[in-house]
Amino acid sequence: MAHGRAIPNLRHNFAALTALAALTAAACAHAGSMLTAEGSRPDSVSATLRVVTIPPGLMVLVDGVRVGRAPVGPLWVAAKTSRVQALPEDPRRFEPGRDTVVVSPGPGESVTATIDMRPSVLIRTAPESAALFLQEGAASGADSLLGETPYRALPSRLERRALRFSAAEHADSSVSGESILALAPQGGPITIVLRRVAPHLPPGPPRSPPLVRRRWFQIALIGAGAALTGTSAILRHEGDRWYSRYLSSSDPVQIEGFYNRTAHYDRLAGASLGGGQVLLTSGIFLLVTSVTR
């Protein structure tokens, strides 16, 4: 009876061991199809994979299989598309959606996957908004426009770069990416204060030339001077006519009147001649100097 009872127990244990061995073989075959331990001998359809995380020390999964803490590798993986993921201990310290990269190595290729888990930096300016440029250096001659503040930038885009901020009525400011990362290590907002400068006023309407520089005024002076000069000759002639009467008259009453008339026309002729010469000379001078300028 005891021997009879032992046979069913032996058969039950054998079936359990067989099932366990089948599961172990399937798991090993699945893991072997995903990746091979470091130092194993690759086959003809394998590639090497290295994984680096920023910050280092994060747990790395390749197609759902834990392979250790970064940096890890080289790992022999199948030459196909693989999903590489980093697991932080505290997910609240990192931004979601940036913990996974997809690699597609070919047979015999060596691929390095870098997973940057650092939070992006919110860049603000005072005042907002300001144009944000990525400086390309003096050799390129032009900077690349990234956008306007507030602007959220990845740390990898700020490293070894310089940013230029430009706003109306404010001086352009350049800040290195390392300085921005140092001021915002946990991805918090950083504010760049721009220096205000005097506003650049547009040029006003052109000023009209002064009166003495206008051509019509210069010609008018010349005309007036010539007219007064001619008038002085007429007045002089009239004075001479009254002077002749003065000389030919013998009446004492008329002599005094003729003399006064002669003196009056002489004064008018002298004033007209003097004023005419001044106006004529001034008009010619202004006209000549305006043409030569």
pLDDT value of position 209: 77
The Cα 26–Cα 71 span in angstroms is: 29
Cα distances (angstroms) measured from residue 54 to each of 74, 117, 148, 212: 18, 6, 28, 78
pLDDT value of position 211: 79
pLDDT digits (tens, 9 = 90+) for 169-185: 888 888 888 888 888 76
**Who wins on pLDDT, 64 or 41?**
64
* Residue 224: partners with Cβ closer than 8 Å, 6 or more residues away: 276, 279, 283
pLDDT value of position 51: 94
In this prediction, residues 44-63 reach a mean pLDDT of 87
User: Where does the pLDDT of residue 159 fall: very low under 50, low under 70, confident under 90, or very high at 90 and above?
Assistant: confident
Place of tokens 């970064």: 70
Helix ranges restricted to H, the chain? 2-34, 155-158, 177-183, 215-248, 252-292
The Cα 125–Cα 190 span in angstroms is: 8
pLDDT value of position 204: 66
Q: Do residues 119 and 95 make contact, with C-beta atoms less than 8 angstroms apart?
A: yes
The Cα 255–Cα 249 span in angstroms is: 6
pLDDT at residue 20 is higher than 60 = no
User: Where does the pLDDT of residue 231 fall: very low under 50, low under 70, confident under 90, or very high at 90 and above?
Assistant: very high
One-letter amino acid at 79 equals: A
The Cα 70–Cα 57 span in angstroms is: 5
